[in-house]
Amino acid sequence: MRKILVTGAAGQIGSELVPALRQLYGDENVIAAGHRTPMPDDVRESGPAITVDVTDVASVQRAVRDHDVGTVYHMSSLLSALAETNRQRAHAVNIEGLYNVLEAAVDNDVDQVIVPSSIAAFGPDTPPDNTPNETLQRPTTLYGISKVFGELMGNYYVEKLGLDVRGLRLPGIISWKTEPTAGTTDYAVAIFYAAIRDGRYTCYLRPDTRLPMMYMPDCIKAIIDLARADASRLRHHTDFNVGAVSFTPAELAEVIASRLPDFSIDYDVDPLRQGIADSWPNSLDDSAAREEWDWNPSFDLDAMADDMLDNLSRKLAGEGRSDQEE
Ligand SMILES: NC(=O)c1ccc[n+]([C@@H]2O[C@H](COP(=O)([O-])OP(=O)(O)OC[C@H]3O[C@@H](n4cnc5c(N)ncnc54)[C@H](O)[C@@H]3O)[C@@H](O)[C@H]2O)c1
């Protein structure tokens, strides 16, 4: 089979997508492409691993051409809060990087490109509750603007160039394996680390900030299910809403406190991230994804909290033991 290339393979999602794809398609068929972020050992050691800078045309072209790549999962990105603090890099990675990947795909007869969008593709003018798939978007962050660019460019390559580009608007992703980087929804991961280590957490969002979220196993399932979906059923391509759970920091804290009774939370609001969160939806209407490729998440808030606490406690206990051994 032609190879699968995963850019951003050391990231929060890439580091879990690569093992899932290797399990499905075979270790040798999935190439993990990292950049500066160190790649987790299991990702680096379980199959081919290369370095790709998506802002460098030659680097992207080489990776796609030299490895006979048939599918690209393009996970490289600067997330919301980081993009706001570095406009130039955000433009280079999120806009030029995506363009380089799409062009390399066309030049080298790639069959399919998967590009995640985000709830950041919406803005303050978007209806916030049960946000429709088709609605006014007008994001006010650089990250969100780059995501709308990605959706529109992806659809352009589908229609004008016959490239099979697919994408979904991911909500905040919660996971225990790789810590997230400078996103706005990261509190929902950091709170679990803090609850286990310190029994308390200071949240940078207001207690009533409701945002759509998803647990990593559902995220991986959504990405792979969309990639494998029957093309003849798809009316959308790059811009599927995918919902799973939706909660506020206060609600998440309550769920954690019901499992760790000594846990407490307080709030010290960061205006940058609060402003970003306030411009995003509270919940999503994902009926298009349900109708066109049978999207159906498995984890609700309680199931996610149980699994997070279980896995993260074991991970942190393991790290504690290896620190003592050093
Ligand atoms: N994690 C979330 O909550 C979330 C939510 C919505 C959408 N998404 C989208 O999912 C995708 C993956 O996100 P993630 O959470 O894994 O992000 P991440 O920040 O954890 O990982 C992104 C990776 O991109 C890499 N990168 C940065 N500059 C690069 C360059 N010049 N060349 C190549 N790689 C470069 C980084 O090394 C990093 O490992 C992104 O498109 C993101 O916008 C993520």
The model's confidence at residue 182, banded by pLDDT at 50, 70 and 90, is: confident
In this structure, the answer to whether residues 201 and 132 fall within a common structural domain is no
Give the pLDDT confidence score for residue 325 in this predicted structure: 56
Structural domain count, the chain: 2
In this structure, the answer to whether residues 141 and 166 fall within a common structural domain is yes
Instruction: Work out the average pLDDT over 97-126.
Output: 98
Interatomic CA distance for residues 171 and 68, integer angstroms: 32
Give Rg (Cα) of the chain. 19
> Does residue 99 lie in a domain region?
yes
In this structure, the answer to whether residues 198 and 166 fall within a common structural domain is no
Q: What share of the chain is helix, strand, coil (3-state, %, to 5)?
A: 50, 15, 35
Give the pLDDT confidence score for residue 319 in this predicted structure: 85
201-259 tens-digit pLDDT: 999 999 999 999 999 999 999 999 999 999 999 999 999 999 999 999 999 999 999 99
In this structure, the answer to whether residues 310 and 267 fall within a common structural domain is yes
Q: Which domain holds residue 60?
A: 3-172+214-241
DSSP secondary structure string, 165-197? EE-EEE-EEE-SSS---S-SSTHHHHHHHHHHH
> Does residue 325 lie in a domain region?
no
pTM: 0.97
At residue 326, does pLDDT exceed 70? Answer: no
In this structure, the answer to whether residues 230 and 256 fall within a common structural domain is no
> Does residue 291 lie in a domain region?
no
In this structure, the answer to whether residues 185 and 96 fall within a common structural domain is no
The catalytically annotated residue of 73, 143, 201, 204 is 143
Give the pLDDT confidence score for residue 300 in this predicted structure: 97
Give the pLDDT confidence score for residue 323 in this predicted structure: 61
In this structure, the answer to whether residues 144 and 188 fall within a common structural domain is no
Residue nearest to atom 39 of ligand 1 (CA): 11
Ligand 1 binding site (Cβ under 6 Å of any ligand atom) = 7-8, 10-14, 35-37, 52-55, 75-77, 79, 93, 97, 116, 118, 170, 172-173, 180-181, 183, 185
Share of residues in the chain with pLDDT > 90 (%): 95
Interatomic CA distance for residues 179 and 316, integer angstroms: 12
In this structure, the answer to whether residues 103 and 197 fall within a common structural domain is no
> Does residue 207 lie in a domain region?
yes
> Does residue 292 lie in a domain region?
no
The per-residue pLDDT of the chain, averaged, comes to 96
In this structure, the answer to whether residues 206 and 128 fall within a common structural domain is no
Q: Which residue has the higher pLDDT, 322 or 88?
A: 88
In the chain, at which residue ranges do the beta strands (DSSP E only) sit? 3-7, 30-34, 49-51, 69-74, 112-114, 117-118, 164-166, 168-170, 172-174, 200-203, 211-215, 240-241, 245-247, 264-267
In this structure, the answer to whether residues 121 and 262 fall within a common structural domain is no
What's the CATH number where 122 sits?
3.40.50.720
> Does residue 289 lie in a domain region?
no
In this structure, the answer to whether residues 89 and 152 fall within a common structural domain is yes
What's the CATH number where 262 sits?
3.90.25
249-286 tens-digit pLDDT: 999 999 999 999 999 999 999 999 999 999 999 999 99
DSSP secondary structure string, 196-249? HHTSEEEESS-TT--EEEEEHHHHHHHHHHHHHS-GGG-S-SS-EE---EEE-H
In this structure, the answer to whether residues 273 and 312 fall within a common structural domain is yes
